[in-house]
Amino acid sequence: MDMKLDGELLESTYRFCLKHVSDPNDAEDLTQEILLEALATRGKKIDSFYAWFWQMARNKISAFYRMKKNGALLIDEFVDISSGEPELDSELLKSEEISELNYHISRLSHLHRNVIIMYYLQKMSVEEIARQLDVPEGTVKRRLFDARKDIKKGFEEMNNYGRSSYAPAQVGMWGGYGIPDYWNNISDQMTKQIFVCCRAEGKTIKEIADEIGCAPVYFEEKLQYLVDNKFLKETTNGKYITDFCVLPAEVWNNNGYEVAKIYKDLGREVTELIKENERKFREFEFYGNDMPFGELLWYLYFVFSDALQIKMNEKNSHRWKDKVPADNGKGYRLCCSYILPDENYEPKETETPKAGWSNLHKTFSTTNYKWVMYGNIFECKPFGERDNVFGEGNIDLFMRLFDDPKLELTETEKYKAAEFIKRGYLKEKDGGLYPTMPIVPWGINRGITNLAIELCDGIAEKYVDKINELSEHTLLPYIRKDLLEEYVNWVLPGNFFTIQYLYGYGMSDNTSDLAIPEDYDNTALATYLTYNQ
């Protein structure tokens, strides 16, 4: 390299800088920085020194303007690296502004972020850092090296950061009632994006931060909560991965489409089975066992959907016995589906009739009963809002009328009873007020369900085989090997819910005998009470 650093070049450089920055002090500082950069190239091969020199000078002035615009210090002005200490890459230090450096520092893990802050911001030596952190000096140097490498990589991949923060994945979750704090601590947008980010392979804290566009300092506490409660598990190499199945929504919905086709004849089969055994169900002693068949069928469809699920789960467990553990050891279940921002698909519409349902339950204590459970099978259309028909203020009156339909009522109780009549939950007959839904002792309800379980054995066997065969092709390829137990005991059994197909058939097929209400807003059909004295 032909290089001549003399007074003439110094003067030319100063005039060049003064022309662009106007202020003599700034021009002197820039000139000194440019010449120091040139001196640092001694011994390096540069084909055309002066072409390189003036391009470097222009870059320094451009960086100066960016600094002025953003109000940030140049990193050269900010960082002082003592001789013999680990050095940041010179190109990184001399070409980026401190604001960008801060951006990437914020995305480091807690361990790496700490040593960067201590070393570069708090001006602590490696020895001092090691003493404060109670780790060997070699560990500090290694962390500094890893952190600097991540920072440089961050600059190089700047355009890839924060994709999920600006265009988050759409996430749906379903789980059991034993989830810690239920949905309160996992239903926020950040947690959902972490789940999607860590769905297939382990990710470091920095990789998670880059993907969701959020500094680790803002989610490290959340990450620890997710690990402590086994939503995530930490691998031996400091990476995090979900401890439950996270599936593409298109895969889950396509699976549901195929499942619906499998269940297209289920409603007819179950209805015929109930008709064949109607007498056996009416032999159980419960209020409502003399109801018209079409009205009682609302309750029996629910019983059979419960029985089918129990029987299919039993048979599925037998199929997978000794192949997976019996449970996940966590006491709760969770599964997610997701749609990435760049994905767009239309869910397939099944021709198999399906009915929405929610199957909500509320439990109360009354004067004469230890507990009373209200089962509202449909808290969704076409039925109106019915979950709050019963409350602490009226359930006791309803059960006393159940015991004595001709009970003498106070004026306040007459008002409450009139509301029950309006909603279709009581009817006037023979001078008394009578409930219009099945009211079943808990032991009898269990007996009715056991009979249904016995009767549906053959149907359950057929459908559990079909669902397993289907799911092997539609779902299993998307399940990580370490989550096979979750697939067998939670994801796969998600296809054993049949209640929507039973009611879908009953509400759409005129041959089903299901009683259809004249007023969906004011009817007790598809509700029931069970109790224990």
Q: What is the mean pLDDT of residues 454-461?
A: 96
- Please write the tens of the pLDDT for every residue from 436-447: 999 999 999 999
Distance CA 220, CA 10 (A): 51
Helices (H), 106-263: 110-116, 126-133, 137-156, 163-166, 189-197, 205-212, 220-228, 249-262
Q: Which of 18, 58, 19 is nearest to 37 (CA)?
A: 58
Distance CA 452, CA 463 (A): 16
Fold that domain 163-243 belongs to in CATH: Arc Repressor Mutant, subunit A (1.10.10)
Distance CA 201, CA 222 (A): 19
Which helix (H) or strand (E) is 65 found in, with range?
A: helix 49-70
Average pLDDT, the chain: 85
Which CATH code is given to the segment(s) 78-160?
1.10.10.10
- Please write the tens of the pLDDT for every residue from 242-260: 999 999 999 999 999 999 9
Which helix (H) or strand (E) is 14 found in, with range?
A: helix 7-21
Flag whether pLDDT at 94 surpasses 70. no
- Please write the tens of the pLDDT for every residue from 138-167: 888 888 887 777 766 665 554 444 455 556
Q: What is the mean pLDDT of residues 15-23?
A: 79
- Exposure string of 80-96, with b = 16+ CB inside 10 Å and e = fewer, is eeeeeebebeeebbbbb
**Ranges in the chain annotated CATH 1.10.10.10:** 78-160, 163-243
Q: What is the pLDDT of residue 491?
A: 96
Flag whether pLDDT at 82 surpasses 50. no
Q: What is the pLDDT of residue 474?
A: 95
DSSP 8-state secondary structure symbol assigned to residue 124: -
Distance CA 216, CA 421 (A): 58
Rounded to two decimals, the pTM is: 0.69
Backbone torsion region of residue 22, taken as left when φ is above 0, otherwise alpha when ψ lies between -120 and 50, otherwise beta: left
**Ranges in the chain annotated CATH 1.10.1740:** 7-71
Fold that domain 7-71 belongs to in CATH: Rna Polymerase Sigma Factor; Chain: A (1.10.1740)
